[in-house]
Amino acid sequence: MFEQITIIAPGLLGASLAMAVHQRSLAKRIAIQARRQEAVDALANKAWCQLATTDLAAATQDAEFVVICSPVDSIPKLAAQIAPLLTGKPIVTDVGSVKGEITRSCQASLASAARFVGSHPMAGSEKTGMQHADPDLFQDRTCFVTPNAETDPDALAKTTAFWRAIGSAVVSEAPDTHDEIVAHVSHLPHLLASALASFLAERRPDAATHCGKGLKDTTRIAAGDPALWRAIVSQNRHEIRRALDAFQDHLQTLSAALANEDDFILLQKLADGKAFRDKL
């Protein structure tokens, strides 16, 4: 598909992506830029990495497709840093879970150097680091691509084809629409799991000795990196606040049903929850 793909930041997503590209023969050459020399050393002799370096210029030289896999707060900075290094107007995409601010910033900084298309594979994990990388991480997972009026049609088509070749189911949404969607289906659930875990840490610090598998399942995603999630929540705070406000109304309905001994409403909410979960 490409002569060279460059991946910036080989964490869980970046390393998994490199493995998937190699496994599916989507590039003749995979270059990876890492911030730390230890990561570069760990990439030595990996079949899925032909060049590992801390040098952005070396990693992006001759790249046709660049994927920025760093945390959301550093994606715009990296896009600005690589802009003067790129030649041939390559496609640049990312894996950030917030798209409005990232898309506007990256398109502005890369306008004369590359063709930016925002991406967000819904393929994360509470685990981090390339030691947990998996070439099938993106298989059968939703991947958003987020074009706007400035997006180059050819770059959009190739980015969409790339994620499909990786094994993802591609969904196209405008950047701000994407942010509203993921506020509900990703960011809100993480905050709720974290809130429940921190609440129990205060009220039932001995919960681990009494809980069953249900509590572990419910709070699993609370194990995600707090710094990473702070950056995500900060960039999508307005949509998340709207989602939180609506959810508080929903909780108030449940609280009122309990207070009023309204078992009909309670049963209805439980049934609605089961029906939704059964469809996931």
CATH label of the domain that carries residue 236: 1.10.3660.10
The Cα 78–Cα 158 span in angstroms is 22
Tell me: do 226 and 122 sit in the same domain.
no
pLDDT at 132: 86
pLDDT at 45: 87
For residue 24, the cross-strand partners are none
3-state secondary structure 215-259: HHHHHHHHHCCHHHHHHHHHHCHHHHHHHHHHHHHHHHHHHHHHH
Tell me: do 168 and 48 sit in the same domain.
yes
Tell me: do 143 and 265 sit in the same domain.
no
Tell me: do 122 and 241 sit in the same domain.
no
Tell me: do 59 and 41 sit in the same domain.
yes
Secondary structure class of 211 (helix, strand, coil): coil
Q: How does DSSP assign 44-98, residue by residue?
A: TT-TT-SEEES-HHHHHTT-SEEEE-S-GGGHHHHHHHHGGG--S--EEEE--S-
**How many domains does the chain divide into?**
2
Tell me: do 42 and 142 sit in the same domain.
yes
Tell me: do 265 and 220 sit in the same domain.
yes
Q: Alpha-carbon dihedral of residues 184, 186, 188, 192, nearest 10 degrees?
A: 140
pLDDT at 128: 77
Q: Between the CA of residue 79 and those of 27, 50, 234, 236, 246, what are the distances in Å?
A: 22, 22, 19, 19, 35
Q: 156, 173, 190 — which closes off a domain?
A: 173
The Cα 277–Cα 244 span in angstroms is 20
Tell me: do 78 and 189 sit in the same domain.
no
> What's the CATH code of the domain at 6?
3.40.50.720
Tell me: do 31 and 156 sit in the same domain.
yes
pLDDT at 143: 98
Residues 6+ apart with CB under 8 A from 217: none
pLDDT at 16: 96
pLDDT at 131: 85
Q: pLDDT by residue for the chain (280 residues), tens digit each?
A: 899 999 999 999 999 999 999 999 999 999 999 999 999 999 998 999 999 999 999 999 999 999 999 999 999 999 999 999 999 999 999 999 999 999 999 999 999 999 999 999 998 777 778 888 999 999 999 999 999 999 999 999 999 999 999 999 999 999 999 999 999 999 999 999 999 999 999 999 999 888 889 999 999 999 989 999 999 999 999 999 999 999 999 999 999 999 999 999 999 999 999 999 999 9
Q: Between the CA of residue 112 and those of 90, 102, 175, what are the distances in Å?
A: 11, 17, 21
For residue 67, the cross-strand partners are 7, 93
pLDDT at 178: 98
Q: What tokens appear for 10 in the block? A: 């080989």
Which structural domain range is residue 150 located in?
2-173
Tell me: do 21 and 145 sit in the same domain.
yes
pLDDT at 27: 97
Tell me: do 53 and 131 sit in the same domain.
yes
Q: 142, 173, 204 — which closes off a domain?
A: 173
Q: 141, 173, 205 — which closes off a domain?
A: 173
The Cα 163–Cα 138 span in angstroms is 8
Tell me: do 155 and 215 sit in the same domain.
no
